[in-house]
């Protein structure tokens, strides 16, 4: 009797191994992407002031920075965030004809202004900065975390449907049977095309009377999602 039980157990083990060997898998990557207009702008401002000594350069820089912050505070704009960082003072070294000489110091400060209402407040913000002094500015556009989150479910659903559609096509062409999902892997590092670009046309003249307010047209940016689905099928 014991020998019979051992034979049955061995036979069932063989069937289990045989079935496991017969079970095959395919992996399909599902992708989705959307092109959307960025909903906020980032203005990078570089303020620099020169003086023959560090205290004077620093004081002049503080005055210029305060002028910008006060202009925003009194502007009536309501959707901006202004932050300051990267304060530093360097020797003003002038290179000419293969030689160099030191001529005082350069104090620098980087400001960043995030504008959440591009249509209504971006042009005004840029004009405020231009009228506050002579500094370098750069405008870029980005998709906010809030907007990105609002498309999360839509992107995931589209990626899942893409994977399912691919598996059905593979099954149809290859003649696979009893195809079912074994595992879904979410590739959480979502690809975001954050190459911000600016399209702007602005007529800037020396005369304040002839200054034309700049216009901005942010380009569409891509947000995308990816998943990896493992399907099992019978041979």
pLDDT in tens, 156-200: 999 999 999 999 999 999 998 899 999 999 986 544 444 334 433
Q: Identify whether the C-beta of residue 77 lies closer than 8 Å to the C-beta of residue 129.
A: no
Q: Which residue has the higher pLDDT, 9 or 147?
A: 147
Q: Identify whether the C-beta of residue 234 lies closer than 8 Å to the C-beta of residue 27.
A: no
Which residue's structure tokens are 């004081």? 59
pLDDT given for residue 212 in this prediction: 56
Q: Which CATH class is domain 40-142?
A: alpha beta
Q: Where do the DSSP E strands lie in 39-98? A: 40-51, 80-96
- Global confidence as pTM: 0.68
Q: Please report, for the chain, the start and end positions of each structural domain, with discontinuous segments joined by +.
A: 21-38+144-235, 40-142
Which residue's structure tokens are 């095959």? 24
Q: Percent of the chain scored above 70 by pLDDT?
A: 78
* Structure confidence by residue, pLDDT tens digits, 97-107: 888 888 899 99
* Structure confidence by residue, pLDDT tens digits, 198-233: 433 333 334 444 455 566 778 888 889 999 999 999
Domain 21-38+144-235: CATH superfamily is Protein of unknown function (DUF541), domain 1 (3.30.110.170)
Average pLDDT over residues 37-55: 93
69 burial type by CB count under 10 A (0-12 exposed, 13-18 middle, 19+ buried): middle
């Amino acid at each position: 009797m014991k020998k019979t039980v051992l034979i049955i157990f061995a036979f069932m083990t063989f069937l289990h191994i045989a079935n496991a060997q017969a079970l095959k898998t395919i992996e399909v990557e599902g992708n989705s992407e959307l092109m959307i207009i960025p909903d906020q702008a980032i203005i990078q401002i570089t303020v620099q002031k020169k003086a023959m000594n560090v205290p004077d350069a620093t004081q002049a820089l503080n005055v210029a920075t305060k002028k910008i912050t006060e202009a925003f505070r009194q502007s009536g704009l309501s959707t901006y965030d202004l932050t300051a960082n990267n304060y530093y003072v360097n020797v003003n070294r002038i290179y000419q004809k293969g030689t160099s000489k030191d001529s005082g110091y350069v104090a620098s400060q980087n400001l960043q202004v995030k504008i959440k209402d591009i249509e209504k407040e971006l042009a005004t913000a840029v004009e405020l900065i231009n009228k506050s002094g002579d500094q370098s500015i750069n405008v870029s556009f980005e998709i906010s975390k809030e907007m990105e989150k609002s498309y999360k479910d839509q992107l995931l659903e589209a990626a899942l449907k893409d994977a399912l559609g691919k598996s059905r096509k593979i099954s149809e062409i290859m003649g696979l049977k009893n195809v079912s999902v074994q595992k879904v892997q979410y590739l959480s590092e979502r690809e975001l095309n954050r190459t911000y670009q600016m399209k702007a046309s602005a007529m800037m003249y020396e005369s304040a009377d002839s200054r034309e307010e700049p216009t901005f047209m942010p380009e569409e940016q891509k947000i995308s999602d990816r998943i990896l689905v493992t399907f099992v099928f019978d041979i």
